[in-house]
Structure 1
Amino acid sequence: MRALTLGPEGTYSHRAARAVADEIEFTESVTNIVEGVASGEYDRGVVPIENSIEGSVTESLDALAERNVAVVQEIVTPIRHALLAQAGEFETVASHPQALAQCRSYLEREYPSVKTEAVASTARGVERARQDPSVAAIGHPDNAGGDLRVLAEDIQDRTSNATRFVVLAPESEKSEAGGKSSLIIYPNTNYPGLLLEMLEPFAERDINLTRIESRPSGERLGDYVFHFDFAAGLYEERSQEVVEVLRGIAGEGWVRELGSYDTKHVLY
């Protein structure tokens, strides 16, 4: 099974993807991952969807709203950030924007005069640190080695730091079985009480919403796409009723069922 995820080798996405496939290829764009799965070029794609400190990964949400794929599993893994450098003194810390944000308090406290540099992935930051002794990186401690050493471990601002990844498959593999489900809704309208109308069907059927997120549709200012995760399978009658109600609310818009899935916890 071929899987595509964020690279290069050594990213947290790579670590999550190893729980899914043995043959893993890399890109630096979430959009490329979703497109690769939607086209059938790859059997699976693994993308980060939410972090316990920084919240949703907006690039992933937007890519999922634009292409037809299925979510067949979610992987939850703790994130352990380490400060990696060739020496104790450096001028810049390079890493993925999410990693920099997750370690913001540590960097401000311990290295207030050091610049931060956002790069495509934690692994790219590690590469920068290997090439340039004036650059440190934030990444998993296992990325150390050679000239690169661990200056500090577990530097994330909260010890409970964890990231949810979703495993993508072609739309034909969408399942209605699982403990969680995901929907994307584009109402193509806006009026007082719209959000309440979309939430009430879940509450009335005792379905727990585990995440709700709105993203600009790109069509016009004030126009939004809504992402819902909830703790029920689409095979359940109550879930089917919710989807039917939402389709009625969407009217000229659309409702996309990404599918139902179970959660796998992976420790590294």
Structure 2
Amino acid sequence: MRAVTLGPAGTYSHRAANAVAGEVDFRESVTGIVETVATGGADRGVIPIENSIEGSVTESLDALADYEVSVVTEIVTPIRHALLAQSEEFETVASHSQALAQCREFLEAEYPDASLESVASTARGVELAREDSAVAGIGHPENAGSELRILAEDIQDRNSNATRFLVVAPTDARSEAGGKSSFIVYPSKNYPGLLLELLEAFADEDINLSRVESRPSGERLGDYLFHIDCEAGMYEQRTERALSRVESIAEDGWVRWLGSYDTQHVLY
């Protein structure tokens, strides 16, 4: 099976993708990953969706709304960040914006004068550190190789730092089996109590919601769609009933069931 994920080799996304595919190719953006899967260019895509420190990855949320794909697996992995450089003398720390944010307290305390540069991935920041002695990267300790020194390990602000990845697939791979389900709801209207009605559709069926997030629809200012994750599979009648109610509420817009899936924990 061939998967695409954030590159270059050595990203945390790459490590997650290795758990589900024997062949892994790379893209420079989450949108590029989802588009590749939606257009038949790969069997699977692995995208970061949520971090325990910095929250949701908005590009992933928007890509899932923009392209027709399914979600078939959830991968949760702990994140261990290390500061990697050719020497202790550097001027810039380059990494993915999420990694920089996850290590904010460490960087402010230990390297307050260093400039921060956001790049496409943690592995891209490590590549820059290999190319330029004035740059340090943030990434997994194993990414240091023989060219870089590990100046500090476990520099993330919380020891509980973990990232949740979604494995996306073509729509015909969508399954009703699994302990969790994901939906995107675009009501195309707004009135007092609208969100409450959507949430009550699940609460009345005794379905726990593990995440609810709003994102601008892009249609007009103040217009939103909702990403909803629940702890129930579509094979359950209660989930079918909840979805039917949500579809009735959002009859002027649309509802997309991304799939039902289980969680896979990957340790590094």
TM-score, normalisation: structure 2: 0.99
Structure 1 segment 84-233 matched on structure 2, within 5 A: 84-233=84-233
2 CA distance for matches of 1:146 and 1:106? 24
Where 2:176 maps in the other structure, the secondary structure is coil
Determine the structure 1 residue equivalent to 2:51. Answer: 51
2 CA distance for matches of 1:147 and 1:262? 39
2 CA distance for matches of 1:41 and 1:134? 38
Where 1:184 maps in the other structure, the secondary structure is strand
Offset of residue 29 of structure 1: 1.2
Structure 1 segment 9-24 matched on structure 2, within 5 A: 9-24=9-24
Structure 1 segment 238-253 matched on structure 2, within 5 A: 238-253=238-253
Where 1:233 maps in the other structure, the secondary structure is coil
Where 1:150 maps in the other structure, the secondary structure is strand
Offset of residue 147 of structure 1: 2.4
1 CA distance for matches of 2:227 and 2:240? 17
Which piece of structure 1 moves more, 10-19 or 142-151? Answer: 142-151
Offset of residue 39 of structure 1: 1.3
What amino acid sits opposite 1:257 in the alignment? Answer: W
Identical-pair percentage: 72
Say whether 1:236 aligns with 2:233.
Answer: no
What amino acid sits opposite 2:81 in the alignment? Answer: H
1 CA distance for matches of 2:7 and 2:147? 21
1 CA distance for matches of 2:227 and 2:176? 17
Deviation per CA, 1:74-107, whole angstroms, max 9, x where unpaired? 0000000000011112100000000000000000
Determine the structure 2 residue equivalent to 1:267. Answer: 267
Say whether 1:28 aligns with 2:23.
Answer: no
What amino acid sits opposite 2:120 in the alignment? Answer: A
Q: For structure 2, which runs of at least 5 residues remain unmatched after alignment?
A: none
Offset of residue 67 of structure 1: 1.0
Deviation per CA, 1:111-165, whole angstroms, max 9, x where unpaired? 1111100000001000110011111010000001222010000000000000000
Q: For structure 1, which runs of at least 5 residues remain unmatched after alignment?
A: none
2 CA distance for matches of 1:40 and 1:173? 12
Offset of residue 251 of structure 1: 1.6
1 CA distance for matches of 2:193 and 2:89? 55
Which piece of structure 1 moves more, 29-38 or 19-28? Answer: 29-38
Where 1:113 maps in the other structure, the secondary structure is coil
TM-score, normalisation: structure 1: 0.99
